[in-house]
Amino acid sequence: MAEIYTIRIHNRQQGTDYTVQVPSDRYILQAAENQTADLPFACRNGACTTCAVRVLSGQLDQHEAMGLSPDLREQGYALLCVSYPRSDLEVETQDEDEVYELQFGRYFGKGKVRFGLPLEDD
Ligand code: FES
């Protein structure tokens, strides 16, 4: 028998708040949408980080969130599309591309990876 948890979600972009009831065996994003929450998403399988939130309080299980590095999970980010609640939770949406840039921005943004340059001869 699944536990039912209360999840408070603040959509910072829209200035909206949702309080939804999510069983421990259901993904938070899908359950919240079924209760009329309007939240960002794209892939729905833990790969793209569009649905990322900051976890303000509470515990969740996101072992399927392959798109989120262990570092960022420890910093309190979560992918709602593949997260199961493990307690009551309070979360808020990220800034647009916040998690993506934290994971990849420093590599792609600072010229460490360069394409198309001729290789020097030895
Ligand atoms: S919607 Fe792509 S990671 Fe959740």
pLDDT tens digits, 69-100: 999 999 999 999 999 999 999 999 999 889 99
Is 76 a domain residue?
yes
Q: What is the pLDDT of residue 107?
A: 57
Is 57 a domain residue?
yes
**How many A from CA of 122 to the centre of ligand 1?**
45
CATH of the domain at 65: 3.10.20.30
Classified as helix, coil or strand, 31 is: helix
Is 118 a domain residue?
no
What is the band of 104 on the pLDDT scale with cuts at 50, 70, 90?
A: confident
What b/e string do you get for 44-82 counting C-beta neighbours within 10 Å, with b at 16 or more?
A: bebbbbbbbbbbeebebebeebebbeeebbeeebbbbbb
For ligand 1, atom 3, which residue shows the shortest CA distance? 46
User: Nearest-CA neighbor of 90 among 10, 4, 3?
Assistant: 10
Is 115 a domain residue?
no
Q: Which two tokens stand for residue 24?
A: 């421990």
Question: What is the residue range of 18's domain?
Answer: 4-108
Q: What is the pLDDT of residue 14?
A: 95
pLDDT tens digits, 41-73: 999 999 999 999 999 999 999 999 999 999 999
Is 65 a domain residue?
yes
pLDDT tens digits, 8-17: 999 999 999 9
Q: Which atom of ligand 1 is nearest to the CA of 80?
A: 4
Q: What is the pLDDT of residue 105?
A: 78
Q: Are 20 and 32 in contact (CB under 8 A)?
A: yes
| Count of structural domains within the chain | 1
Is 122 a domain residue?
no
Q: Model's pTM, two decimal places?
A: 0.85
Is 18 a domain residue?
yes
**How many A from CA of 68 to the centre of ligand 1?**
10
Strands 60-61 and 4-11: unpaired
Ligand 1 pocket residue status of 73, Cβ below 6 Å: no
Is 58 a domain residue?
yes
Average pLDDT over residues 34-41: 96
